[in-house]
């Protein structure tokens, strides 16, 4: 019998409760023992809950109860999630979490405390919701040097872009529809501006490189500037635009960005539609592998949290080695990489041909669309200044 506590009874927390109750047999079979919820921590009242006696508002009830060996932190936000997690780890309890902001910001410190205390700090649910990706990246691809990660890591922006492509909606209309469907928050900045995807690619890059990749140093662009003209240009070029969390790994260096990228229809990532997520990982031995599924949502995310609870229960006597150790590696802005660019400009065809021998994809209504050879960001800026009338230049995922 493993006794666990849930910190935070919101969407994910109540999902964790439901899955442990509803799938008790499968969970127990996999854990090798029964999993019992002993506490639920929340500042709100849940007097109508069928197990209202489980609720507490005092985190010390959990910290001081030596019977509790695993704690699910599903509160979200940095504080007090950080302080509570630290206290639990220091009290010798394993912590599992869906809190990408916390893992991306304080992961290095919390992983070090977990190691010191010989307990687990697991965070499968922090990237890709219910999609197994953290553990496969750490363990199943353990024999590979990871060379690249390119992921559609945010369902809200993927839904908006998909609506722009398939239903010809403007960004503004697609956003307000996403809000109406409950796929976007009232304040959608964290999603739209790419910060959510940034936290997730930071976590994946840290795992792949073994070194902390600091969010703050990842060049991050959102999707608010993508127009239906860009959609039209991408379709003419035989592809779509997706918000991509991108990282390349080379000789201990990490080149990472979050930005809208052009993806050809042949690439598996082009088929990731609606709110779904997909993460394409390239290893030197395995080549490309992709993981696909619901990147958010109550039960998908909760199912990943419960899987980590099961794993912590199994590994109670031995630490699961998933994480990274070194703080602050060389995180390079991805400007260090060469990309081809899909360029849309209002020059004449002759003006374009005067400065580049790129293939013209589209030439209509005063707009020229062309794709460049791979080049540095500096070279792209130079090309843009030569043309003077460039409306957009979108990096191409090769």
| Site of interaction with a copy of itself (CB under 8 A) | 15, 19-20, 23, 26-27, 29-32, 124, 130-132, 135-136, 138-145, 210, 268, 271, 283-294, 297, 299-300, 302-307, 309-311, 314, 317-318, 321
The stretches of the chain forming alpha helices (DSSP H) are 11-22, 24-31, 59-63, 81-90, 100-117, 134-135, 155-167, 171-180, 189-192, 195-209, 228-236, 298-314, 349-355, 377-387
Q: Are 394 and 232 in contact (CB under 8 A)?
A: no
DSSP lists the bridge partners of residue 358 as none
In whole angstroms, how close is the CB of 287 to a copy of itself at the nearest point? 5
- Closest to a copy of itself by CB, 105 or 282: 282
Catalytic residue of the set 93, 100, 169, 200: 200
Q: Which is nearer to a copy of itself, 15 or 222 (CB)?
A: 15
Provide DSSP, 185-204. Answer: -SS-HHHHTTHHHHHHHHHH
Spatial separation of the C-alpha atoms in residues 341 and 383, rounded to whole Å: 11
Q: CA 332, CA 7: separation in Å to the nearest integer? A: 36
Residue 105 CB, shortest distance to a copy of itself, in Å, is: 24
Q: How far is the CB of 217 from a copy of itself (least distance, A)?
A: 23
320 vs 344, which CB is nearer to a copy of itself? 320
Toward a copy of itself, which CB reaches closer, 228 or 286? 286
CA distances from 209 to 137, 145, 256, 258, 392 (A): 11, 9, 12, 18, 32
Q: How far is the CB of 379 from a copy of itself (least distance, A)?
A: 33
C-alpha span between 56 and 245 (Å, rounded): 38
What are the structure tokens assigned to 307, written together?
A: 């899987």
Q: How far is the CB of 28 from a copy of itself (least distance, A)?
A: 10
Q: How far is the CB of 116 from a copy of itself (least distance, A)?
A: 16
CB of 316 to a copy of itself, least distance (A): 10
Of the two residues 99 and 301, which places its CB atom closer to a copy of itself in the complex? 301
The residue ranges of DSSP E strands in 265-321, in sequence order, are 276-283, 287-294
Choice between 78 and 289, CB closer to a copy of itself: 289
Number of helices followed by number of strands (H, E) in the chain = 14, 17
- For a copy of itself, give the closer residue by CB, 247 or 307: 307
Among 63, 136, 64, which Cα is nearest to 95's?
Answer: 63
Structure tokens at 17: 């409760």
Instruction: Give Cα separations from 283 to 211, 248, 279, 349 (angstroms).
Output: 17, 11, 13, 41
Nearer to a copy of itself, 43 or 285 (CB): 285
* Coil/strand/helix, residue 239: strand
- Taking phi first (over 0 means left), then psi (-120 to 50 degrees means alpha), and beta for anything else, what does residue 192 get? alpha
**Which tokens is 18 given?**
């439901």
Active site residue 200: yes
Q: From CA 111, how far away is CA 321, in angstroms rounded?
A: 10
Q: Compute the least distance from the CB of residue 357 to a copy of itself, in Å.
A: 31
* Rounded-to-integer distance, Cα 261 and Cα 243, Å: 6
Residues tagged active-site: 200
């Amino acid at each position: 019998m493993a006794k666990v506590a849930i910190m935070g009874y919101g969407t994910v927390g109540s999902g964790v409760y439901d899955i442990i109750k509803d799938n008790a047999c499968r969970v127990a079979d996999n854990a090798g023992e029964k999993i019992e919820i002993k506490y639920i921590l929340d500042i709100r009242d849940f007097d109508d809950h069928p197990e209202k006696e489980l609720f507490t508002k005092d985190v010390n009830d959990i910290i001081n109860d030596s019977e509790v060996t695993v704690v699910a932190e599903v509160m979200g936000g940095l504080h007090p999630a950080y302080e509570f997690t630290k206290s639990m780890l220091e009290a010798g309890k394993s912590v599992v979490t869906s809190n990408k902001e916390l893992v991306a910001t304080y992961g290095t410190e919390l992983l070090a405390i977990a190691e010191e205390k010989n307990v687990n700090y697991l965070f499968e649910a922090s990237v890709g919701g219910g999609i197994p990706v953290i553990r496969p990246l750490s363990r199943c691809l353990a024999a590979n040097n990871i060379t690249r990660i390119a992921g559609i890591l945010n369902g809200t922006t993927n839904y908006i872009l998909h609506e722009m492509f398939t239903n010809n909606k403007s960004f503004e209309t697609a956003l307000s529809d996403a809000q109406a469907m409950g796929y976007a928050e009232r304040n959608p900045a964290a999603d739209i501006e790419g910060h959510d995807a940034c936290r997730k690619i930071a976590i994946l890059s840290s795992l792949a490189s073994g070194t902390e990749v600091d969010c703050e140093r990842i060049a991050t662009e959102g999707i608010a500037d993508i127009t239906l003209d860009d959609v039209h240009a991408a379709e003419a070029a035989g592809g779509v635009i997706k918000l991509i969390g991108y990282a390349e790994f080379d000789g201990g260096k990490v080149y990472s960005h979050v930005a809208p990228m052009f993806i050809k229809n042949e690439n598996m990532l082009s088929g990731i539609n609606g709110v779904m997520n997909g993460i394409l990982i390239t290893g030197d031995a395995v080549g490309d592998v992709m993981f696909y599924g619901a990147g958010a949502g109550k039960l998908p995310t909760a199912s990943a949290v419960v899987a980590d609870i099961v794993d912590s229960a199994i590994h109670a006597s031995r630490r699961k080695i998933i994480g990274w150790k070194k703080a602050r590696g060389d995180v390079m802005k991805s400007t260090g990489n060469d990309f081809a660019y899909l360029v849309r400009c209002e020059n004449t065809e002759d003006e374009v041909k005067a400065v580049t021998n790129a293939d013209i994809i589209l030439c209509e209504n005063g707009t020229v669309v062309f794709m460049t050879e791979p080049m540095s960001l500096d070279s792209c800026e130079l090309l843009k200044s030569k043309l003077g009338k460039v409306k957009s230049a979108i990096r191409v995922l090769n």
